């Protein structure tokens, strides 16, 4: 009985010690195996670092996008400045042309016929330049109208709704776009050789390809708006595409026709009556490269040296037939382009010599200097 009571007393005094020790051992093992692990509702050190790295990456992306937006704003401002300058230049040239035309109209009589013709030529040259500036203005207007479109996509539908509800008249830029079949690369097999179109050389072909024009069918589908826009894009002389008949040639080539042969300067055109100055376009056959075989040696024309020949070639004049087809307005325009003395082309008879050489004639002999051969 005493032994039983002693055991009961021992258990009552020290029995709790063993479970207590096991509990401490469990806590230690739990801390040892589960330290640093992510708990529900909490982040570990690794997770917090990943989130911070992602936040830094997003901040960098935001700064990059803000920089692009600022660059785009600068481009739009620059285009608006160019548009304003071109419009001012066109207005000034229009005023000058109007003054010149009034001055030419006020002069009459047989004694003033020569001066009147000179004024008409100058007026025509100014009007031709004005047409070119007008085409550039339209092109720049299109660029300015298209520039903010990338930002307009980000605007919500709520902001776009009031503009449609206001019923305001659409601007010129909001009209239907030209139907030029642009692509970002040849999408229908091997590109066509656009140089088969007379008037398109290697430079224009490269410019057209850079704008997504690779096939005859694309050029054949051009309308008036397309022609005007393309002339501004490739920096061509206004009216050149219509004068060289790019669209009719492309239609023939697109249907399997043959390339058109380059026309030589006909003599019958010299006898034809000139059209009204307002509707006449320069007859200079500009090209961006020799399109009819080897270029002629323009130095055979007396008065044209290596410098003038280089200047004429740089402006697309390579053949005698081109110079032989010049009219008064063409002569005046070319004198301004090659920085020649006024009246030099007429005085040296470039046009007459060009017509003779184009017809297969011999070059004019240089006049010997007088009195030098007699004296020894």
- The answer on 337 and 307 residing in a single domain is yes
- The answer on 179 and 143 residing in a single domain is no
Distance CA 259, CA 360 (A): 25
- The answer on 146 and 66 residing in a single domain is yes
- The answer on 296 and 339 residing in a single domain is yes
Q: What is the pLDDT of residue 285?
A: 53
- The answer on 241 and 194 residing in a single domain is yes
Q: What is the pLDDT of residue 116?
A: 53
Q: Which residue has the tokens 């992602």?
A: 54
- The answer on 354 and 288 residing in a single domain is yes
- The answer on 293 and 336 residing in a single domain is yes
Residue 161 maps to a domain: no
CA 341 vs. chain centroid, Å, equals 33
- The answer on 75 and 141 residing in a single domain is yes
Does the pLDDT of residue 22 top 80, yes or no? yes
Does the pLDDT of residue 160 top 70, yes or no? no
Residue 180 maps to a domain: yes
Could you count the other beta carbons within 10 Å of the beta carbon of residue 83? 18
Q: Which residue has the tokens 């090659």?
A: 338
DSSP state of 39: P
Mean pLDDT lowest among 95-99, 127-131, 258-262:
258-262
Average pLDDT, integer, range 7-29: 84
Per-residue pLDDT tens digits for 116-155: 555 666 777 777 777 778 777 877 777 777 765 544 444 4
* Domain with 216 in it: 175-261
Does the pLDDT of residue 260 top 90, yes or no? no
Residue 253 maps to a domain: yes
Distance CA 193, CA 185 (A): 15
Q: What is the pLDDT of residue 10?
A: 78
- The answer on 256 and 299 residing in a single domain is no
Per-residue pLDDT tens digits for 342-363: 788 988 999 999 999 999 998 8
In the numeric block, which tokens belong to residue 11? 């258990």
Does the pLDDT of residue 15 top 60, yes or no? yes
Does the pLDDT of residue 103 top 50, yes or no? yes
Residue 162 maps to a domain: no
Residue 375 maps to a domain: no
Instruction: Give the C-alpha distances (Å, rounded to integers) separating 288 from 191, 234, 274, 291, 332.
Output: 20, 11, 27, 8, 21
Percentage, residues of the chain above pLDDT 70 = 69
Q: What is the pLDDT of residue 357?
A: 94
User: Half-sphere exposure of 93 toward its Cβ, with a 13 Å CA cutoff?
Assistant: 19
Contact indicator for 104, 123 with CB cutoff of 8 Å: yes
Contact indicator for 144, 76 with CB cutoff of 8 Å: yes
How many domains does the chain contain in total? 3
- The answer on 249 and 186 residing in a single domain is yes
* Of 212, 231, 261, the domain-final residue: 261
Residue 26 maps to a domain: no
Residue 221 maps to a domain: yes
Does the pLDDT of residue 43 top 70, yes or no? no
- The answer on 235 and 195 residing in a single domain is yes
- The answer on 198 and 245 residing in a single domain is yes
Residue 202 maps to a domain: yes
Q: What is the pLDDT of residue 231?
A: 80
Sorting pLDDT into bands at 50, 70 and 90, what band is 168?
very low
Q: Which residue has the tokens 């010129």?
A: 172
Average pLDDT, integer, range 317-331: 90
Average pLDDT, integer, range 83-89: 88
């Amino acid at each position: 009985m005493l032994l039983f009571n002693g055991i009961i007393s021992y258990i009552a005094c020290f029995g709790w010690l063993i479970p207590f020790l096991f509990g401490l051992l469990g806590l230690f093992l739990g801390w040892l195996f589960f330290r640093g692990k992510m708990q529900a509702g909490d982040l570990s050190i690794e997770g917090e670092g990943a989130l911070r790295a992602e936040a830094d990456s997003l901040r960098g992306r935001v700064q990059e996008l803000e920089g692009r937006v600022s660059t785009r704003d600068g481009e739009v401002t620059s285009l608006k400045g160019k548009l304003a300058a071109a419009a001012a230049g066109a207005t000034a040239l229009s005023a000058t042309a109007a003054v010149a035309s009034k001055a030419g109209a006020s002069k009459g009589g047989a004694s003033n016929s020569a001066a009147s013709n000179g004024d008409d030529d100058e007026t025509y040259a100014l009007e031709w330049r004005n047409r070119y500036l007008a085409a550039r203005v339209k092109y720049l207007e299109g660029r300015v109208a298209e520039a903010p479109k990338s930002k307009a996509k980000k605007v919500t539908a709520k902001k776009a709704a009031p503009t449609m509800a206001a019923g305001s008249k659409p601007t010129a830029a909001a009209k239907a776009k030209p139907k030029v079949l642009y692509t970002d690369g040849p999408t229908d097999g091997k590109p066509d050789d656009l140089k088969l179109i007379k008037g398109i050389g290697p430079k224009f072909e490269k410019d057209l390809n850079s704008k997504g024009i690779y096939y005859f069918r694309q050029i054949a589908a051009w309308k008036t708006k397309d022609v005007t826009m393309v002339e501004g894009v490739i920096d061509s002389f206004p009216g050149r595409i219509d004068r060289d008949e790019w669209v009719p040639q492309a239609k023939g080539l697109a249907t399997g026709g043959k390339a058109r042969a380059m026309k030589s300067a006909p003599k019958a055109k010299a006898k034809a009556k000139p059209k009204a100055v307002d509707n006449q376009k320069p007859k200079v056959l500009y090209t961006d490269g020799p399109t009819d075989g080897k270029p002629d040696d323009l130095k055979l024309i007396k008065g044209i040296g290596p410098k003038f020949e280089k200047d004429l070639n740089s402006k697309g004049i390579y053949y005698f037939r081109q110079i032989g087809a010049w009219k008064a307005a063409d002569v005046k325009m070319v004198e301004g382009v090659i920085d020649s003395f006024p009246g030099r082309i007429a005085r040296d008879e470039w046009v007459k010599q060009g017509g003779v050489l184009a017809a297969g004639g011999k070059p004019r002999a240089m006049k010997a200097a007088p009195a030098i051969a007699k004296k020894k």
